[in-house]
């Protein structure tokens, strides 16, 4: 029997390549390996988006994105979080056994507090709703990024406490960090995020990709100067989109036979080759 995998994506705006390489791609890669439950996390999105028209639009965009990248509804359970009404019921039940101190340790809450951002109850209670998402479907495996392990740990702690009170009700899930998962840098070198406005859209046209890539600020464009590829944001994108040529590109960086401008042009072409079929499928 296959293990059950559970994960979701929040509908909070444009899907970008950070979403794809950081999460969505692995859902496609593992759709035969696991009994996969993939959901559109519209309840989680309410902590950020208040406009119902926008949320409806973003939900549809996420669903289309999943289908465009190759997620197969015949092999994967793809659903909208809010359609499963027991989710919010169980959230209240788990709220009643969850210590406030546990939620105060959550990274998202502490980050918002440190940055003096407005904090609503939904953001504070976010980890409990996430625990419900994981536990209610009896999930075995939850793919996480390197900065998301705490979500699993909180879900485990809540599940263990509930089981001590009520018996062996919930499976204890485990987080899995797959080697194929990458943390994608944005155009400014920070983690790619809609909130930083540094994204490359998964469905951007070639002209849009070119404009964004060519705008990346590089200190030097000296053709004859040896460059360290591992410190170059452009080369980081080459690792994702120029795999067939990556060894030669690396050599060219080190011996100074490629300029940043040439590297950018090559990257734009390779990105368009990779993203073009996905973009066309999304249009159909």
Q: Where are the domains of the chain?
A: 4-176, 205-283
The CATH class of the 4-176 domain is alpha beta
Residue 220: predicted pLDDT: 56
In this predicted structure, what is the pLDDT of residue 224?
54
Q: Answer for the pair 272, 213: CB distance below 8 angstroms, yes or no.
A: no
Q: What pLDDT digit, counting tens, does each position of 59-108 carry?
A: 999 999 999 999 999 999 999 999 999 999 999 999 999 999 999 999 99
CA pair distance 13, 250, nearest whole angstrom: 34
Sign of CA dihedral 47, 157, 142, 104: positive
CATH no. for 205-283: 1.10.240.10
The b-or-e profile of 189-201 (16+ CB within 10 A means b, else e) is eebbebeeebbbb
Strands (E), 87-210: 141-143, 174-176
Reply yes or no on whether the pLDDT at 122 is more than 70. Answer: yes
Q: Considering the entire predicted model, what is its pTM? A: 0.92
Residue 222 to residue 91: CA distance in whole angstroms:
57
Average pLDDT over residues 151-178: 95
Residues 226-252 pLDDT 10s: 788 988 999 999 999 999 999 999 999
pLDDT band for position 223 (cuts 50, 70, 90): very low
Whether 205-283 and 4-176 are alike in CATH topology: the answer is: no
């Amino acid at each position: 029997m296959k293990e059950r995998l559970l994960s979701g994506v929040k509908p909070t705006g444009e899907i970008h390549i950070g979403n794809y390489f950081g999460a969505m791609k692995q859902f496609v890669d593992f759709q035969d390996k696991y009994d996969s439950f993939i959901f559109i996390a519209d309840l989680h999105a309410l902590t950020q988006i208040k406009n119902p028209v926008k949320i409806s639009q973003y939900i549809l965009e996420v669903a289309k994105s999943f289908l465009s990248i190759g997620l197969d509804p015949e092999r994967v359970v793809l659903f909208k979080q809010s359609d499963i009404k027991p989710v919010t019921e169980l959230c209240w039940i788990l709220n009643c056994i969850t210590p406030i101190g546990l939620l105060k340790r959550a990274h998202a809450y502490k980050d918002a507090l440190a940055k003096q951002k407005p904090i609503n109850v939904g953001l504070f209670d976010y980890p409990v709703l996430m625990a419900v998402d994981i536990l209610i479907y009896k999930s075995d495996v939850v793919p996480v990024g390197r900065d998301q392990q705490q979500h699993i740990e909180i879900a485990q702690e809540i599940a263990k406490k509930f089981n001590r009170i009520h018996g062996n009700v919930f499976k204890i899930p485990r987080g899995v960090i797959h080697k194929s998962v990458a943390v994608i840098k944005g155009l400014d070198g920070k983690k790619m995020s809609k909130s930083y406005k540094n994204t490359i859209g998964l469905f951007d046209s070639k002209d849009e990709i070119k404009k964004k890539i060519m705008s990346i600020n590089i200190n030097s464009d000296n053709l004859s100067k040896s460059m360290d590829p591992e410190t170059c944001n452009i080369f980081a994108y080459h690792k994702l989109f120029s795999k067939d040529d990556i060894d030669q590109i690396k050599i060219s960086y080190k011996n100074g036979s490629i300029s940043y401008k040439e590297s950018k042009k090559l990257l734009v072409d390779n990105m368009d080759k990779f993203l073009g079929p996905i973009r066309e499928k999304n249009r159909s």
